[in-house]
Amino acid sequence: MNPRAIVKLSHFLNSGNKLFQRRLIGENGGNPFKLISCAGISTARQSYSADGRISGRIFADYSIFKGKAALSVAPVLPSFSKMDSGYTKVDRRGVIMLTFRPAIGERKYDSEKKQLFALSVTEVGAFISLGSGDSCEFFHDPSMLSRDAGQVRKSLSIKPHTDGYFISLTVVNNILKTNERLTVPVSTAEFAVMRAAFSFALPHIMGWAHSTNQVGDNVGRDSLKVHPQLAAASEWDR
Amino acid sequence: MNPRAIVKLSHFLNSGNKLFQRRLIGENGGNPFKLISCAGISTARQSYSADGRISGRIFADYSIFKGKAALSVAPVLPSFSKMDSGYTKVDRRGVIMLTFRPAIGERKYDSEKKQLFALSVTEVGAFISLGSGDSCEFFHDPSMLSRDAGQVRKSLSIKPHTDGYFISLTVVNNILKTNERLTVPVSTAEFAVMRAAFSFALPHIMGWAHSTNQVGDNVGRDSLKVHPQLAAASEWDR
Amino acid sequence: MNPRAIVKLSHFLNSGNKLFQRRLIGENGGNPFKLISCAGISTARQSYSADGRISGRIFADYSIFKGKAALSVAPVLPSFSKMDSGYTKVDRRGVIMLTFRPAIGERKYDSEKKQLFALSVTEVGAFISLGSGDSCEFFHDPSMLSRDAGQVRKSLSIKPHTDGYFISLTVVNNILKTNERLTVPVSTAEFAVMRAAFSFALPHIMGWAHSTNQVGDNVGRDSLKVHPQLAAASEWDR
Amino acid sequence: MNPRAIVKLSHFLNSGNKLFQRRLIGENGGNPFKLISCAGISTARQSYSADGRISGRIFADYSIFKGKAALSVAPVLPSFSKMDSGYTKVDRRGVIMLTFRPAIGERKYDSEKKQLFALSVTEVGAFISLGSGDSCEFFHDPSMLSRDAGQVRKSLSIKPHTDGYFISLTVVNNILKTNERLTVPVSTAEFAVMRAAFSFALPHIMGWAHSTNQVGDNVGRDSLKVHPQLAAASEWDR
């Protein structure tokens, strides 16, 4: 169930064609965060609100419709769980979901053949820090750690062109014997929208927007709820 | 009713006078997003709040008063509609509305002769990504797809000068036989305000500020409301 | 009562010592916005909350204590007024208030001799767009348009040094025959805090944070409250 | 109890290996802000909410798991206190807490041996303004001004490598005769996440997010609560 996530980040135009490849699983000695954040979205998304009410969600995709395919991007928020101690912590990190749909006629796109790619928090970091001319590639294995590990391989590549970037999703499925590639040319202006929107969304999918939105709770003199980390030890206690 | 929107984005100073022209309608193979986002503001703006109450709006323009004309900018928020499924989605994207008024005396500007130009989400992306020395031009046809298509043409150009930019709106109206041009010199400091304010407003006019402001709803274990996209398939299911 | 505000913005290190001076009053043909925004803070600050309750304010200065003087910065929010039409609009723009206090001993600063300088929205734009090596100067006449016009002149200068900036406030008072100059060396790190904090505060002092915080009001089908500008005419109606 | 905080900030790659060292205590002529902000976290964190309710906190760390150690970062919000005048002011500034844990096996990290380092507001400013190739070092003495001053010395260094930064925490404890060093290699993408998240958190740990979130309170005509600074004197009164 846990996807294999490999990031290849190259700055080949800006840094003299040097290609830096980082295989996160290898270098990390195991990267629990990556595994958790990516695995999260494979489970059913079900949630009550904090006060028990079920609230309607609001969806706001940003879509780019081009000749051969369309690309829609939208944030998927993290989910939280309450611990026995009474704290709430991030249970499953959020992602930026990219949805590609192939064109099947003028202004018509095939939702049946859509392909998804979920950018993790760190992949969003790579995306928003791309300089002009930089390139970037991410690899996901949706079946990682399952029986079918390695059977389906997805890669998302972001490559510069004269006015913006080509964003391509390749899905190689050895079980279905399919090999699909969907490419959407993204203009500088559209990329600027994505960068700004992803930067805005980043603290939200990390859960920081939620954890910092509690300033009013800090007014007063006493409390029974203390951060477990900070209760036991502060920097200055050692 | 749907306006024809064409974007010309040039980085002629930074990139050796190369002029990149992108005719969005042409290259997009049909750009529903553009059409929808631009058409939106021609309909009457009427809305109840989520709980049925009608609430007063708050307006906060940023205005630049110069010798020959004044320029005011303000965000116009998106509107949302509830689907049968219970979800709420963006119905009409927001814009940044630019209002030009010609000077008719010292510190007096003629609101009767005002001209509007609504920057779409992607045009705002082009605006905020302008480097110093970059230039940019947007074309709107307010009558696109109607009988009068091509009769009125608006273009907004942003051109660098030694300390900032000239922002000019040209409106050619073949029906009224008029040809108006209003130019406002914007200083580096004023442009920095606009860039920061537009960047702030971008996630709001896209609807992302609304869709990410629901973090508290994700605390819990179960839910009946699932994103239609995510309910049917997640990245890892394929 | 309306202060004379003149901005001198130079990029002398980055652009080959060219010095661009912009006297806003002169070039603007009258800049009502400047006058209003600056005059605002001379009136008493009194406000009820939207629902009639008087709420306690929260103050959070960022202070830099150096050998000869201390500098504290804090945002002052705009005030709003309800129009007969039922709309709410910005009545008085906010500012970033800079407070300088001279040192009178080790770690002691004299609040009796404090000097204030209120950065307007556009001056904040100049501040946050300063590149490394850039320099900037603002002039205020607190008595502008009054009998004492020109008697008191304040200027705030921001000049680069090897690790950060010198921020100096000079107050020449011809009535009291005083000439005070308070300078605080600000490190690169402290300046980065100010830049980030001012950028964050900018949409708030402009009133945009307030006007965009109404997304929920746009869900629905009908409304009686329409932006006067948009009700009468949209871009596409002409 | 008040820690000795010294900042060394060098831009040795970008500026030709010039090393700028700033010993804040020395140059500041006493830096009350530094002392307060750092000392703050050594006291127990206890707080009621503004309305007297005790609310559960939400925790959302961003963690990087590497071969030899793991690094988790999370914002710690400021606390506020009510003054007799009825105002609320920041009592203790927030920090970004860095937690290092050494690896004790594959994907296992030892929380018993964790080491903390609390980045103050100004240190966060140094962090987010690091250019590529820049380097930065912070020194803390958790026992400063106590009997054990100088016995424990912590230093956090951030040094560039080909794809990102090495973040190292060194803790020299003369009492326990220990000398620990924990280093985590942070990729460009992970550093971009930290930079974006820290930039987002900065106005929150400063208290500005709280103080600017009161815009609605400014609608009206009259108020009894006035900023003590602004009530006594505005810029234009002198």
SS (H, E, C) chain C: CCCEEEEEEECCCCCCCCCCEECHHHHHCCCHHHHHHHHHHHCCCCCCCCCCCCCCCEECCEEEECCCEEEEEEEECCEEEECCCCCEEEEECCEEEEEEEEEEECCEECHHHCEEEEECHHHHHHHHCCCCCCEEEEEEECCCCCCCCCCEEEEEEEEEECCEEEEEEEEEECCCCEEEEEEEEEEHHHHHHHHHHHHHHHHHHHCHHHHCCCHHHHECCCCCCCCHHHHHCCHHHC
The whole-number pLDDT of residue D3 equals 40
Say if C218 falls within a structural domain: no
The whole-number pLDDT of residue C218 equals 39
Which residues in D lie closer than 8 A to residue A122 (C-beta atoms)? 187, 189-190, 193
Which residues in D lie closer than 8 A to residue A78 (C-beta atoms)? 60
The whole-number pLDDT of residue B125 equals 97
Flag if C223 and B48 touch (Cβ within 8 Å).
Answer: yes
- Between CA A130 and CA C21 the distance in angstroms is 36
Alpha-carbon Rg for chain D, nearest whole angstrom, is 20
- Between CA A23 and CA A9 the distance in angstroms is 10
Q: How big is the CA angle at C186 (ends C184 and C190), to the nearest 5 degrees? A: 140
Say yes or no to pLDDT of B54 above 50: no
Which chain A residue has its CA at the smallest distance from B129's CA?
Answer: A192
Of residues D89 and C154, more confidence is placed in C154
Say yes or no to pLDDT of D93 above 70: yes
The alpha-helical segments, DSSP class H, found in chain C are: 24-28, 32-39, 121-128, 188-206, 208-211, 228-232
- Between CA A50 and CA A174 the distance in angstroms is 42
Of residues C149, C96, C180, C145, the one with CA closest to residue B107: C145
For A19, other C-beta atoms within 10 Å of its C-beta total: 11
> Which string of b and e fits B153-174 if b means at least 16 CB within 10 Å?
bbbbbbbbeebbbebbbbbebe
Flag if D220 and C50 touch (Cβ within 8 Å).
Answer: yes
Which chain A residue has its CA at the smallest distance from D189's CA?
Answer: A126
Flag if A76 and B230 touch (Cβ within 8 Å).
Answer: yes
The reply to whether A201 touches chain B by the CB within 8 Å rule is yes
Strand partners, A165: A160, A186
- Between CA B157 and CA B144 the distance in angstroms is 20
Is residue D32 within 8 A of residue A229, CB to CB? The reply is no
Is residue A118 within 8 A of residue A93, CB to CB? The reply is no
Say yes or no to pLDDT of B43 above 70: no
Percent of chain C with pLDDT over 90: 48
C158: domain CATH number is 2.30.31.10
Is residue C184 within 8 A of residue C70, CB to CB? The reply is yes
C125 to chain B, closest Cα gap in Å: 5
- Residue D60: which of A123, A207, A234 has the nearest Cβ? A207
The reply to whether A88 touches chain D by the CB within 8 Å rule is yes
Tens digits of residue pLDDT in B70-97: 999 999 999 888 888 878 888 888 999 9
Of residues A96 and A222, more confidence is placed in A96
Two structure tokens written together for C114: 């404090």
Domain count, chain C: 1
The whole-number pLDDT of residue B211 equals 81
> Which string of b and e fits A165-184 if b means at least 16 CB within 10 Å?
bebbbbbebeeeeeeeebbb
Which residues in A lie closer than 8 A to residue D173 (C-beta atoms)? 238
Flag if D188 and A28 touch (Cβ within 8 Å).
Answer: no
Q: Averaged over C138-156, what is the pLDDT?
A: 87
Q: In chain D, positions 209-238, which contact chain C (CB-CB < 8 Å)? A: 209-212, 214-227, 229-231, 233-238
Q: In chain C, positions 9-28, which contact chain B (CB-CB < 8 Å)? A: 9, 18, 20, 22, 24, 27-28
Which residues in B lie closer than 8 A to residue A81 (C-beta atoms)? 219-221
Domain span at residue D138 reads 4-43+57-237
Give the residue carrying structure tokens 């964003």.
Answer: A167
Torsion of CA B48, B51, B53, B59, to 10 degrees: -60
- Which of D39-48, D80-89, D227-236 has the highest mean predicted lDDT (pLDDT)? D80-89
Half-sphere exposure of A74 (CA within 13 A, CB side): 20
Of residues C139, C111, C114, C144, the one with CA closest to residue C126: C139
- Residue B33: which of A65, A67, A204 has the nearest Cβ? A65
Q: Which of A95-104, A217-226, B141-150 has the lowest mean pLDDT?
A: A217-226
The whole-number pLDDT of residue C203 equals 95
The whole-number pLDDT of residue C214 equals 53
Say if D166 falls within a structural domain: yes
Say yes or no to pLDDT of C50 above 50: no
Give the residue carrying structure tokens 């002029």.
Answer: B19
- Between CA B208 and CA B193 the distance in angstroms is 22
The whole-number pLDDT of residue C170 equals 97
Judged by DSSP in three states, D90 sits in: strand
Q: What is B123-165 written as a DSSP string?
A: HHHHHHTPPTT-EEEEEEETTTTSTTTTTEEEEEEEEEETTEE
- Between CA D116 and CA D101 the distance in angstroms is 9
Flag if C49 and D227 touch (Cβ within 8 Å).
Answer: no
Which residues in B lie closer than 8 A to residue A46 (C-beta atoms)? 221-224, 226
Of residues D31 and B202, more confidence is placed in B202
Is residue D124 within 8 A of residue D93, CB to CB? The reply is no
Secondary element (H or E) of residue D198: helix D188-206
Say yes or no to pLDDT of C42 above 50: no
Question: Which chains would you list as touching C if contact means 3+ CB atom pairs under 8 Å?
Answer: B, D
- Between CA B238 and CA B233 the distance in angstroms is 8
The whole-number pLDDT of residue C80 equals 86
Flag if D49 and A230 touch (Cβ within 8 Å).
Answer: no
Give the residue carrying structure tokens 């206090």.
Answer: C101
For B26, other C-beta atoms within 10 Å of its C-beta total: 11
Residues 6+ apart with CB under 8 A from A132: A160
Is residue B205 within 8 A of residue B121, CB to CB? The reply is yes
Say if A238 falls within a structural domain: no
Q: Which of A12-16, B108-112, B129-133 has the lowest mean pLDDT?
A: A12-16
**Binning pLDDT at 50, 70 and 90, where does residue A55 land?**
very low
- Residue A66: which of B29, B208, B227 has the nearest Cβ? B29
Two structure tokens written together for D207: 């208290």
Is residue C211 within 8 A of residue C201, CB to CB? The reply is no
B60 to chain C, closest Cα gap in Å: 5
Residue type, D68: K
Of residues B190, B126, B113, the one with CA closest to residue B156: B126
Tens digits of residue pLDDT in A169-215: 999 999 999 999 999 999 999 999 999 999 999 999 999 998 887 53
Say if C23 falls within a structural domain: yes
Phi and psi (nearest 5°) for D123?
-65, -35
Say if B127 falls within a structural domain: yes
Strand partners, B139: B6, B155
Say yes or no to pLDDT of B228 above 50: no
Q: Which of B44-48, C112-116, D159-163 has the lowest mean pLDDT?
A: B44-48
Query: Which DSSP category does A13 fall into?
Result: T
Which chain C residue has its CA at the smallest distance from D33's CA?
Answer: C63
The whole-number pLDDT of residue A219 equals 42
Residues 6+ apart with CB under 8 A from A188: A163, A164, B9, B126, B129
**Binning pLDDT at 50, 70 and 90, where does residue A236 land?**
low
Quote the mean pLDDT of chain B.
Answer: 72
C19 to chain D, closest Cα gap in Å: 24
Which chain C residue has its CA at the smallest distance from B37's CA?
Answer: C236
Say yes or no to pLDDT of D8 above 90: no
Say if D123 falls within a structural domain: yes
Two structure tokens written together for D143: 């026992």
Strand partners, D182: D169
Q: How big is the CA angle at D51 (ends D48 and D55), to the nearest 5 degrees? A: 45
B54: left (phi over 0), alpha (psi -120 to 50) or beta: beta
Maximum distance among all alpha carbons in chain A? 67
Percent of chain B with pLDDT over 90: 48
Flag if D54 and A224 touch (Cβ within 8 Å).
Answer: yes
- Residue C66: which of D29, D206, D218 has the nearest Cβ? D29
Say if A171 falls within a structural domain: yes
- Between CA A114 and CA B232 the distance in angstroms is 11
Is residue A37 within 8 A of residue D63, CB to CB? The reply is no
- Between CA C122 and CA B31 the distance in angstroms is 36
**Binning pLDDT at 50, 70 and 90, where does residue D229 land?**
very low
ipTM score of complex: 0.73
The whole-number pLDDT of residue B6 equals 52
Chain D interface mutation, best of A27, A218, A229, A234, highest count of D Cβ atoms under 10 Å: A218
**Binning pLDDT at 50, 70 and 90, where does residue D236 land?**
low
- Between CA B10 and CA B25 the distance in angstroms is 18
Judged by DSSP in three states, B122 sits in: helix
Flag if A58 and B214 touch (Cβ within 8 Å).
Answer: yes
- Residue A75: which of B129, B211, B238 has the nearest Cβ? B211
Question: What is each CA distance from C143 to C98, C154, C171, D62, in whole angstroms?
Answer: 18, 11, 13, 52
- Between CA C207 and CA B73 the distance in angstroms is 12
Of residues A210 and B164, more confidence is placed in B164
Residues 6+ apart with CB under 8 A from C223: B45, B46, B47, B48, B54
Which residues in C lie closer than 8 A to residue D225 (C-beta atoms)? 54-57
Give the residue carrying structure tokens 């790579």.
Answer: A126
Q: How far is CA B168 from the centre of its chain?
A: 16
Which residues in D lie closer than 8 A to residue C117 (C-beta atoms)? 235
- Between CA B6 and CA B179 the distance in angstroms is 19
- Residue B77: which of C124, C210, C212 has the nearest Cβ? C212
Q: Averaged over D72-78, what is the pLDDT?
A: 94
Flag if B227 and A48 touch (Cβ within 8 Å).
Answer: no
Sheet holding C58-59, edge to edge: C58-59, D88-92, D79-82
The reply to whether D207 touches chain C by the CB within 8 Å rule is yes
Strand partners, C73: C62, C98
**Binning pLDDT at 50, 70 and 90, where does residue B144 land?**
confident
The whole-number pLDDT of residue B132 equals 80
Is residue D137 within 8 A of residue D123, CB to CB? The reply is no
Secondary element (H or E) of residue D38: helix D32-39
Q: In chain B, positions 125-184, which contact chain C (CB-CB < 8 Å)? A: 140, 142-143, 152, 154, 162-163, 171, 173
**Binning pLDDT at 50, 70 and 90, where does residue A234 land?**
low
Of residues A144, A158, A172, A155, the one with CA closest to residue A25: A144
Tens digits of residue pLDDT in D153-187: 999 999 999 989 999 999 999 999 999 999 999 99
Percent of chain D with pLDDT over 70: 66
Burial class (CB in 10 A: 0-12, 13-18, 19+), C196: buried
Say if D50 falls within a structural domain: no
- Between CA A117 and CA A96 the distance in angstroms is 8
